[in-house]
Amino acid sequence: MAREVSFSKSIDWPLFIVFMLFLCMGIANVYSAAFDPEHPNLLDFSQKYGKQILWVAFSLFLGFLVMLIDASIYRKFAIPIYIFCIILLVIVLFMPSVNGARAWLGIGSMGIQPAEFAKIGTAIALSSYISQINVNQQKMSTVLLANALVVGPMVLILMQPDAGTFVVFTSFLFVMYREGITYDPIILKLINLLPGVNFKSTWVGSHFIPIFFVVIFLSIVTLLMSNNIITFSFLPSVAIPGFAGVIGTLFVLAAISFFILRWISGRRDRNRVTLIVLIGFILTSTISSVVNYGFQGLASHQKDRIELFLGLKEDPDGEDYNRNRAMAAVGSGGWTGKGYQNATVASVQSNHVPESETDFIFCPLAEEWGFLGTMVFMILYMFMLVRIVIIAERQKSKFNRIYAYCCSLILFYHFAINIGMNIGFAPVIGIPLPFFSYGGSSMMSFSVMMFILLRLDSQRNDVLM
Amino acid sequence: MNFDSRKYVVIIFFVLIGLIYSSRLFYMQIIDDSWTLRAQEIAEKRVLITPPRGVVFDRKGKKIVTNRTYYNLMMVEENIKNFDTVSFAKLIGWSPEKVKYRFKEIVRGEGKYHSKITGKTTANYQKIRPYPFVKELTIDEMSVIAPYLENYPGFYEEITSMRSYPFSNAANILGYLSEVNADDIIEDKFYKSGDNIGKAGIEKFYEQELRGRKGVHYIVTSAMNNAIEAYANGKYDTIAKQGPALRLGVDIELQAYGEKLMVNKRGCIVAIEPKSGEILALVSAPSFDPNLFVGNRNITLNYPKLVLDPDKPLYPRPLAAEYPPGSILKLVQSLIGLQEGVITTESGFPCNKSIVGCHNHPMATDLKKAVQYSCNPYYYAVVRKIIHKGRKKKFYEDAEAGLNVWAKYMHSFGLGEKFETDITGLRQGLIPDSKYYDKWYGHLLWAFSTIRSISIGQGEVKVTPLQMANIAAIIANKGWYFTPHFVRAIGGQGSNPLFKKVNKTMVDPIHFEGVQEGMRRVVNEPSGTGSRARIKGITVCGKTGTVQNPQGEDHSVFLCYAPMDNPKIAIACIVENAGWGGSWAAPICKLMIETYLQGKVSDLLKEKSIIDANLLNVKKKKDKNTIH
């Protein structure tokens, strides 16, 4: 067929090249991080770098298979694929626990983690479902079903437990936001229960996801600030307790936005603006209060955890051991790093940073290549993410577009949490850095995910899709 | 509804996080140094390599201080398994309680560490690190323990270096090493807990040289604290350098012989080479074996014994014991008198026993005879002339001026002053001047008659044996001396340039001949008080002294140099409670000179009787007030 002939033209080379570049960098990095002077051969399959090469080779083989298969199969078999993933997630719960989690299916080192593949399955199922519905006529049932597709695997993953992958699954909420799946039907149902209220749509419902993340952000800020006493050098007698300061700041922000919004909005919207700002202020203050007083009411060990996470409490040799060591490794990189295979903190041999070849793989990279190295990585990764969004937006098929968004947001989540962990911006919840972390399951799942994307994109002109 | 604009929300979100993370990386990696420091704290370790201390040779090239291998029994708590305290205690010869206590002691001894980066204080002790459990085991002790160590996982042996003194002599010269205390560590960053530092003698004075230079080895350590590799391939490492060898002027064989002669006696012998100021021997009796102070185990064992010994072996008699010089000072009085012109070598004074006691001797018709007979009234007259020379019209002012002139002369002989030299524990003795007596009697309320006992070396005048020996060296040199010192060369270089500076006395060389002749007669004339120091074939010049001792029998003092025409050795000897100067001190000096100059002793019987003599318990005071 003509389609097959033009394969090399239809593939998205920029994305493919970055993808391959990441695979090579990943191998080089694992070779450095896990280097054992007694087994210097890169292809020594008893070592992690040897195994990683095997995983990469196997992933490429899988990718080759994906490229041979017609892309329409994913859409057609979305439900079976999804159900298969769910079954695996259920089976894994009956497997023996490894390191406190029943995440592994299989024997020993040859096991796979179904949670990694469930991301692909969920992405396909979600893409398939959303592409079929009319987002402009959303019903309670469609919203609930779309959410159920995501929440189902999340619950099973939490039962393993695997907090990292659980958090990654919230990336699908962003995809739904992009596609206009709102929580309006649910919120309207609740609000319209009140007598005399009859909204057609609510701002909260349609922008639920960004609001959700604003709430998280607000909570963190509240917790960070409520322990402090705010003083001003020019007003020495004034000392505002932290929480009052938070509310005060919110009030000032609300006032500013009120005047700005009133100024830019038309006469018709004035009342609406007033209402929005008022509700916004009341809601944020309420959230802040709930977080603040809720935190006070927590048990002390829970408080410790949260304080540790927020960096309110330093415990470099205790619970915060990993993060502190990781940050020391990253921060000691300087401009150009300590040189390839010269990491002092983040090598597997020194073992100061535990899991430096898996979850903390960014440490050896940052320590050995310094700021220049991390910048190259950041730029390439940003390029990859934006490129996927561009690819998504050029798709004619809604299924393709949604799937591409799923890919970009999953990759983004892994990036944000994993790097955040290394630089003290995220709690240590243990998720791999795509294409870099040592491990078969993540390597295979991310590669297959990318190849499916490349395959879908290469067939974007097939009108039938 | 069209949701296309929401793609910008996603892209903005990506870029925003990317920028935030990049700024954070820029801050962490470039601006903020604390993470680099934290990384060093975590992963890099400076391993200090302590070189063996510099060795010490005597003047003939014999090694007198060297290093010997010892063993530390090391312990890594984490590796200890199934530890049987009782059997282990038995193996190392401790009580089980002591073993238990030792574990706690190690933890406490490591102290705490305050990190400036994290602001946290943590205990330095780590279970994964090795610590010495028993230190300083000899090879014999270790060979008993070693075969059973495999029954005690977590314990192993480690080689260490400690001092060894092949000659068992000169403990008072060489000093000893001891573990640094907290003050030493604060004072000098060179030292770390567990290091040794010289605490006395040569070891203390030449600490800076002997300790050498520590090597620094930077290594990358793992979380288990194992060394993984050299940091930056050893680019910043430095090599440990042993301290330079010291060459002493001390003749260890002479020193050993002196210590042998002084066995069972209290007192000291100081021998100086007049031409160089190098100390040939510095015997402090009773003496002790320096090997008793090797290692802290030995020190804790032996130190209390030596401290509590009533004969005070740790007291550095030649340096710190301030004796009234007795008749020996008459030599200096003669010289001052000649230089001041108040007497000539032909001056005679009657032996008027009504002024000051004397023994029966022929009339001292000239200076030589005065020295030979050690006539007390003669020197009463001489010193009175020195002090009341008529410098001032008023009698008391004249005494004041005269005494100060006299004291100045004395200072020029190194008396009443501390030598600036490489000897620790020196005292300066006492030469009273006008200020001193003003305190006692009041300004202008004293004259020579008040202080007359200084003329015969009694009363307030105090001199250390080292200063006495130096007087002999000055007379041998006819008026000058090099500061007495131990070290003649450090490594390939010479010693302190200060030791090459000629110290001139205020007495001209011409005046020394009469005194020298008098000293020759003391030993070589039949009626001389020091005839027991006479040696066939060597002209010895000497002077006896008897130091009155209110607590017991007088101290026997002898000062001499030989040979007369080409002096090679100047000696001062004091034997406490041994009676008059000629009795014990003179023959001891004779034996020392013979040994040094001839390498053999002529009168073996005499030697034996001196070695065998025990004068430790002689304290009985005789009814004798005469001074020789």
Mean pLDDT of A402-423: 91
For chain A, count helices (H), then strands (E).
Answer: 20, 2
Residue B444 has pLDDT above 90, yes or no: no
Q: Which residue of A has its CA nearest to B115?
A: A316
| Residue B440 sits at the chain A interface (C-beta within 8 Å) | no
- Whether residues B276 and B155 fall in one domain: no
Q: What is the pLDDT of residue A226?
A: 66
ipTM (interface predicted TM) = 0.83
Q: What is the pLDDT of residue B140?
A: 86
- Does residue B175 form part of some domain? no
Q: What is the pLDDT of residue B390?
A: 85
Q: What is the pLDDT of residue A428?
A: 75
Bridge partners, residue B157, by sequence = B73
Tokens linked to B46: 């400076």
Whether B96 and B85 have beta carbons less than 8 Å apart is answered as yes
- Whether residues B162 and B257 fall in one domain: no
Q: DSSP state, A97?
A: P
> Cβ of A389 and B7 within 8 Å?
yes
Å between B246 CA and nearest CA of chain A? 43
- Does residue B103 form part of some domain? yes
Q: What is the pLDDT of residue B527?
A: 76
**Cα B171 to the chain's mean position, in Å?**
9
Of A327, A392, A412, the CB nearest to B28: A327
pLDDT tens, residue by residue, A261-292: 777 777 777 777 788 788 888 888 888 888 87
> Cβ of B222 and A349 within 8 Å?
yes
The pairing of strands B56-57 and B63-76 is antiparallel
How many domains are contained in chain B? 2
Q: What is the pLDDT of residue B623?
A: 45
Å between B149 CA and nearest CA of chain A? 29
Q: How far apart are CA B110 and CA B234, in angstroms?
A: 28
- Whether residues B420 and B560 fall in one domain: yes
| Residue B119 sits at the chain A interface (C-beta within 8 Å) | yes
Å between B234 CA and nearest CA of chain A? 13
Q: What percent of chain A has pLDDT over 90?
A: 28
- Whether residues B140 and B270 fall in one domain: no
Domain of B77, in residue numbers: 66-166
Q: What is the pLDDT of residue A195?
A: 77
> Cβ of B30 and A334 within 8 Å?
yes
Å between A144 CA and nearest CA of chain B? 20
Å between A74 CA and nearest CA of chain B? 24
Q: What is the pLDDT of residue A308?
A: 61
Whether B457 and B471 have beta carbons less than 8 Å apart is answered as no
Q: Looking at A34-38, B262-266, B588-592, which range is the least confident one?
A: A34-38
Q: What is the pLDDT of residue A302?
A: 67
> Cβ of A334 and B24 within 8 Å?
no
- Does residue B449 form part of some domain? yes
Among residues B377, B372, B370, B371, the alpha carbon closest in space to that of B356 is found at B377
- Does residue B407 form part of some domain? yes
Residue A108: how many CB atoms within 10 A of its CB? 7
* Confidence grade of residue B624 (pLDDT, cut at 50, 70, 90): very low
Between helix A321-331 and helix B34-43 the angle, nearest 10°, is 110
* Confidence grade of residue B628 (pLDDT, cut at 50, 70, 90): very low
Q: Looking at A415-429, B54-68, B465-479, which range is the least confident one?
A: A415-429
- Secondary structure string (H, E, C) spanning A282-296: HHHHHHHHHHHHHHH
Tokens linked to A316: 């470099």
Residue B428 sits in a domain of what CATH number?
Answer: 3.40.710.10
Q: What is the pLDDT of residue B626?
A: 43
**Cα B324 to the chain's mean position, in Å?**
22
Mean pLDDT of A40-61: 86
- Whether residues B449 and B355 fall in one domain: yes
Size of interface A-B (CB pairs under 8 A): 137
Whether B377 and B351 have beta carbons less than 8 Å apart is answered as yes
Q: What is the pLDDT of residue A2?
A: 43
Q: DSSP state, B463?
A: B
Mean pLDDT of A246-274: 78
| Residue B24 sits at the chain A interface (C-beta within 8 Å) | yes
Whether A338 and A346 have beta carbons less than 8 Å apart is answered as no
What average pLDDT does the structure give for chain B?
A: 86
Å between A416 CA and nearest CA of chain B? 7
| Residue B10 sits at the chain A interface (C-beta within 8 Å) | yes
Whether A82 and A406 have beta carbons less than 8 Å apart is answered as no
DSSP, collapsed to helix, strand or coil, labels residue A436 as coil
Residue A410 has pLDDT above 80, yes or no: yes
When computed from its CA atoms, the radius of gyration of chain B, rounded to whole angstroms, is: 34
Is the link from the previous residue into B286 a cis peptide, with omega within 30 of 0? yes
How distant, in Å, are the alpha carbons of A246, A326, A360 from that of A423? 26, 8, 11
Return all residues near B201 (Cβ < 8 A) that are at least 6 apart. B171, B172, B173, B174, B175, B176, B424, B425
- Whether residues B288 and B396 fall in one domain: yes
* Confidence grade of residue A429 (pLDDT, cut at 50, 70, 90): confident
Segment holding B561, helix H or strand E: strand B555-562
Segment holding B562, helix H or strand E: strand B555-562
Q: Looking at B349-363, B448-462, B568-582, which range is the least confident one?
A: B349-363
Whether B411 and B429 have beta carbons less than 8 Å apart is answered as no
Which residue shows structure tokens 């204080």? B121
Q: What is the pLDDT of residue B415?
A: 92
- Secondary structure string (H, E, C) spanning A172-201: HHHHHHHCCCCCHHHHHHHHCCCCCCCCCC
Residue B219 has pLDDT above 90, yes or no: no
- Does residue B156 form part of some domain? yes
* Confidence grade of residue A109 (pLDDT, cut at 50, 70, 90): low
Of A345, A366, A385, the CB nearest to B42: A345
- Does residue B3 form part of some domain? no
DSSP A257-270: HHHHHHHHS-GGGH
Q: What is the pLDDT of residue B363?
A: 83
pLDDT tens, residue by residue, B356-407: 788 878 888 888 888 888 888 899 899 999 988 888 888 888 888 999 999 9
Å between B291 CA and nearest CA of chain A? 44
Å between A2 CA and nearest CA of chain B? 32
- Whether residues B162 and B259 fall in one domain: no
Q: What is the pLDDT of residue B360?
A: 79
* Confidence grade of residue B445 (pLDDT, cut at 50, 70, 90): confident
Q: Looking at A70-79, A371-380, B215-224, which range is the least confident one?
A: B215-224
Q: Report the b/e string of B521-559 with b at 16+ CB within 10 A.
A: bbbbbeebbbbbbbbeebbbbbbbbbbbeeeebbbbbbb
> Cβ of A345 and B22 within 8 Å?
no
Among residues A156, A51, A55, A48, the alpha carbon closest in space to that of A101 is found at A156
- Whether residues B259 and B118 fall in one domain: no
Please, which residues 222-281 of chain B have a Cβ atom closer than 8 Å to chain A?
222-224, 228, 231-232
Q: Looking at A31-35, A145-149, A426-430, which range is the least confident one?
A: A426-430
Q: How far apart are CA A87 and CA A79, in angstroms?
A: 12
Tokens linked to A359: 């979850």
Return all residues near B298 (Cβ < 8 A) that are at least 6 apart. B136, B291, B292
pLDDT tens, residue by residue, A365-392: 998 899 999 999 999 999 999 999 999 9
- Does residue B52 form part of some domain? no
For chain B, count helices (H), then strands (E).
Answer: 21, 21
Q: What is the pLDDT of residue A1?
A: 41
Q: What is the pLDDT of residue B625?
A: 45
Residue B131 has pLDDT above 70, yes or no: yes
Q: What is the pLDDT of residue A154?
A: 92
How distant, in Å, are the alpha carbons of A36, A79, A389, A454 from that of A406? 38, 17, 10, 13
- Whether residues B407 and B555 fall in one domain: yes
Vertex B389 angle, CA B384 and B394, to 5°? 100
Mean pLDDT of B121-126: 75
Which residue shows structure tokens 């070891």? B203
> Cβ of A316 and B118 within 8 Å?
yes
DSSP, collapsed to helix, strand or coil, labels residue B623 as coil
Whether B58 and B252 have beta carbons less than 8 Å apart is answered as yes
Q: What is the pLDDT of residue A355?
A: 76
| Residue B19 sits at the chain A interface (C-beta within 8 Å) | no
> Cβ of B39 and A178 within 8 Å?
no
- Does residue B627 form part of some domain? no
Mean pLDDT of B47-64: 88
Whether B588 and B498 have beta carbons less than 8 Å apart is answered as no
DSSP, collapsed to helix, strand or coil, labels residue B134 as strand
Of B3, B18, B28, the CB nearest to A180: B3
> Cβ of A327 and B15 within 8 Å?
no
Look at B114 and B318; give whichever has higher pLDDT: B318
> Cβ of A330 and B35 within 8 Å?
yes
> Cβ of A331 and B28 within 8 Å?
yes
Judging contacts by C-beta atoms under 8 Å, the chain A residues touching residue B228 are 347, 349-350
Judging contacts by C-beta atoms under 8 Å, the chain B residues touching residue A425 are 20-21, 24
Judging contacts by C-beta atoms under 8 Å, the chain B residues touching residue A330 are 25, 28-29, 35
What average pLDDT does the structure give for chain A?
A: 82
Q: What is the pLDDT of residue A464?
A: 53
Whether B544 and B522 have beta carbons less than 8 Å apart is answered as yes
Mean pLDDT of B273-302: 90
Mean pLDDT of A286-307: 74
Q: Which of A134, A332, A352, A353 is the mutation pick for testing B, counting most B CBs within 10 A?
A: A332
Q: Half-sphere exposure (CA, 13 Å, Cβ side) for A167?
A: 18
Q: Looking at A59-63, A406-410, B9-13, which range is the least confident one?
A: B9-13
